[in-house]
Amino acid sequence: NRKWILKQRPTASLAPDDLQLVEAPAPAPGGGEVLIRNIYLSLDPTNRIWMSDREQYLPPVGLGDVMRGTTLGVVVESRSDRFAPGDIVLPPDGGWQLYTLADASQTRRIKGEPGVPLTAYLSVLGVTGLTAYVGVMDICRPKAGETFAVTAGAGAVGSVAGQIAAIQGARVVGIAGGPAKTGWLTGELGFDGAIDYKGEDVGAALDRLCPDGIDSAFENVGGPIMDAVYERLNTGGRVAVCGLISNYNDEGPIPGPTDFGRMLMKRLTVSGFIVIDHFHRARDAWSDISRWIAEGRLKWKDHVVDGLDNAPDALGLLFTGANDGKLVVRISEE
Ligand code: NDP
């Protein structure tokens, strides 16, 4: 086996010595287990959170342990009658490694659909899509004619969230870094507006694009960009706090909006959510999303980086915005 272990906890951006690539024999499955050769590894901003010993929703990855990560792979050996070699599966905890030993009862089979790439099951038809769906449909609940704003709007979650809000009839404004990303949002994805936070003043642009204020917001970034949106929320506004990526490389508590009083005065509902609590919505989410894709109303991009060895460097793309769509690493051939 070939795997990345967490050697030391990063204190800022991930540094080359924080993870170590080690070789070990491939494990053999026991009763009720399957051996999986991982094909794709999902890289997520939260990977950086798991490396730190900070307050979080799962235990941090232990020092010396395989780096946690979601994978999609193929069964190569099965000691369970639920799976046969060749089945495409999502193990419960794939990890940054070539082979994963998984409990068959916790492993999900991917049937696959014609024309749908396997990477989609780690992105729009996977946790990314579910995250966007839950944040929009269950927390933001945009109504027709309302204004909906999304930060990291051209990212994997944000771009899907914006399109789902548009399908609900909302006016959608996305905030993203650089003209290529904002152009994609207003061009191909049909957002009503997009703001390049690297090139323009976000507050002034929001005033221009959201003259009637913002009714709901999908927050992926935090910091001053979040504040600019928050300051423009209308009475009864809803915020789905999905992510705060601008702070994941920092230590200590993550600061909130400057004006907490606005929560009271504007009767805001600000809800943090973590997708792992919402798997009961997966069936609805993936069936709606599949239909919207088939109808040509929802688009997505996957960004594939080759080679398990490149996983730590690839993770960095999420923090500079150099990823163009859902970031996955191809660990082995399909
Ligand atoms: P993305 O594809 O959106 O990639 C991350 C993007 O964040 C980058 O491309 C970059 O876009 C933007 N970004 C990074 N650093 C900054 C910064 N300092 N300021 C502004 N923008 C920044 O990744 P995901 O879609 O996987 O994740 C998006 C968010 O959703 C993250 O915060 C993540 O933690 C969260 N998430 C939460 C889940 C939950 O259960 N709550 C589940 C999945 C994801 P740009 O080029 O526009 O700067």
Is the C-beta atom of 316 inside 6 A of ligand 1? no
- So what's the ipTM on this one? 0.99
Q: What pLDDT was estimated at residue 149? A: 99
Q: What pLDDT was estimated at residue 282? A: 98
pLDDT tens digits, residue range 192-231? 999 999 999 999 999 999 999 999 999 999 999 999 999 9
Judge: domain 2-123+300-330, CATH 3.90.180.10: yes
Task: Please give the model's pTM, rounded to 2 decimal places.
Answer: 0.98
Ligand 1, residues 136, 160, 245: which to mutate, most atoms within 8 A of Cβ?
245
pLDDT tens digits, residue range 13-36? 999 999 999 999 989 999 999 999
| CB-based burial label for 25 (10 Å; 0-12, 13-18, 19+) | exposed
- Shortest-distance atom of ligand 1 to CA 275: 40
Domain boundaries, the chain: 2-123+300-330, 127-278+286-292
| CB-based burial label for 321 (10 Å; 0-12, 13-18, 19+) | middle
Q: What pLDDT was estimated at residue 292? A: 98
pLDDT tens digits, residue range 251-301? 999 999 999 999 999 999 999 999 999 999 999 999 999 999 999 999 999
Q: What pLDDT was estimated at residue 38? A: 98
* CA 166/CA 161 separation, integer angstroms: 9
- Shortest-distance atom of ligand 1 to CA 274: 40
**Residues 235/261, Cβ–Cβ less than 8 Å:** no
Class of domain 127-278+286-292: alpha beta
Is the C-beta atom of 42 inside 6 A of ligand 1? no
| Residues 193, 194, 197, 199, Cα dihedral to 10° | -90
* CA 179/CA 307 separation, integer angstroms: 29
**Residues 70/42, Cβ–Cβ less than 8 Å:** yes
Is the C-beta atom of 139 inside 6 A of ligand 1? no
CB neighbours (10 Å) of residue 223? 15
The average confidence (pLDDT) of the chain is 98
For ligand 1, atom 16, the nearest C-alpha belongs to: 246
- Please calculate the CA angle 125-130-100 and round it to the nearest 5 degrees: 65
Q: How many angstroms separate the alpha carbon of residue 45 from the centre of ligand 1?
A: 6
